[in-house]
Amino acid sequence: MEWNVVYYEEIDSTNTQAKRMAKEGAEQGLVVTADEQSAGKGRRGRVWESPAGTNLYFSILLRPELEPDKAPMLTLVMAYSVAVVLRTQEGLPVEIKWPNDLVLEKKKICGILTEMELSGSQIADVVIGVGINVNTTEFPEELRDKATSLYLQKGEQVEREKLLQQILEKFRRQYERFLEIQDLSFLQNEYNQMLINKDREVLVLEPGHEYQAQALGINEKGELLVKKSDGSTEAVFAGEVSVRGIYGYI
Ligand code: BTN
């Protein structure tokens, strides 16, 4: 797969733009990136603040031959790829908060928003949007203990273009392996070593139902295995559930 990077100085949302271009027939491998987003989207209808000149915002378009219920695994493949790049290239001990976030010193540094379009019962396209706090020097008061940036952690600016290239290269290799194997067994152990939730008490937020459990790690399907208070183990599916710490975000 070849990447085809399209850059905008300003766009509403790179996810929205990638989805528009997908509808017009764009091929797998399209990467939409922008210096600034006027309507950056977070998960659960939240806004993703996207000022100019500082952070990395990009979305990739994939057209995988995959059962739709396996698509959420792609979010984990991306989280894993970004985490490995930030660890190896920037030397930062980034951890993964299953399934969508990356954290450093318990603060969020990256969020991922995956959107899937179906055609009948098959995947038409999957757009994976990634927002990384790169050169932010200061967060608003209300975010200061929840968010951080590469700059704040390293004390020096990071080049966004180079970071994007490294992530795309890493992701491409993992994506190809994933399509061959069709599960996450090839990265499961390494993923679990970077999993911040591991062994912690978490609140599992299922639609209409939440419960406390101990996170054990992901299985080969990317589900989070949790141990409930009655001793039984449950596999939590990444598509519709999220978790948070019992005392807060982690
Ligand atoms: C989250 O943590 O809630 C997910 C945030 C995802 C933000 C990225 S920035 C690039 C892409 N375009 C968007 O509008 N959102 C994603």
Q: Do 125 and 204 share a domain, yes or no?
A: no
Could you tell me if residue 223 is inside a domain? yes
**Gap from CA of 13 to ligand 1 centroid (Å):** 8
pLDDT of residue 250: 75
Domain final residue pick, 193, 213, 235 = 193
Kindly give the number of the ligand 1 atom that is closest to the alpha carbon of 12: 14
pLDDT digits (tens, 9 = 90+) for 14-57: 999 999 999 999 999 999 999 999 999 999 899 999 999 999 99
Could you tell me if residue 250 is inside a domain? no
Q: How many CA atoms lie within 13 A of 207 on its CB side?
A: 5
User: Which residue ranges have their beta carbon within 6 Å of ligand 1?
Assistant: 13-15, 37, 40-43, 46, 48, 57-59, 100-101, 111-113, 129-131
Q: Do 119 and 232 share a domain, yes or no?
A: no
Q: Do 186 and 217 share a domain, yes or no?
A: no
Per-residue pLDDT at 247 exceeds 90: no
pLDDT of residue 237: 84
Specify the residue with its C-alpha closest to ligand 1, atom 15: 41
Q: Which domain holds residue 201?
A: 197-245
Per-residue pLDDT at 240 exceeds 70: no
Specify the residue with its C-alpha closest to ligand 1, atom 2: 111
Please count the structural domains in the chain: 2
CA distances from 232 to 151, 208, 213, 227 (A): 43, 21, 10, 6
Q: Do 184 and 64 share a domain, yes or no?
A: yes
Specify the residue with its C-alpha closest to ligand 1, atom 10: 57
Among 41, 102, 103, 205, the mutation site with the greatest number of ligand 1 atoms within 8 A of its Cβ is 41
What value does the mean pLDDT take over residues 120-143? 95
CATH number for the domain harbouring residue 29: 3.30.930.10
* Residue 8 contacts residue 35 (beta carbons within 8 Å): yes
Kindly give the number of the ligand 1 atom that is closest to the alpha carbon of 34: 10
Q: How far apart are CA 193 and CA 28, in angstroms?
A: 31
**Gap from CA of 231 to ligand 1 centroid (Å):** 36
pTM of the complete model: 0.96
Tell me phi and psi for residue 117, to 5 degrees: -115, 130
Q: Do 85 and 151 share a domain, yes or no?
A: yes
Q: Do 130 and 189 share a domain, yes or no?
A: yes
**Gap from CA of 44 to ligand 1 centroid (Å):** 11
pLDDT digits (tens, 9 = 90+) for 170-218: 999 999 999 999 999 999 999 999 999 999 999 998 888 889 999 999 9
Q: Is the peptide bond before 93 cis (omega within 30 degrees of 0)?
A: no
Q: Residue 25 CB: number of other CB atoms within 10 A? A: 6
Q: Do 120 and 214 share a domain, yes or no?
A: no
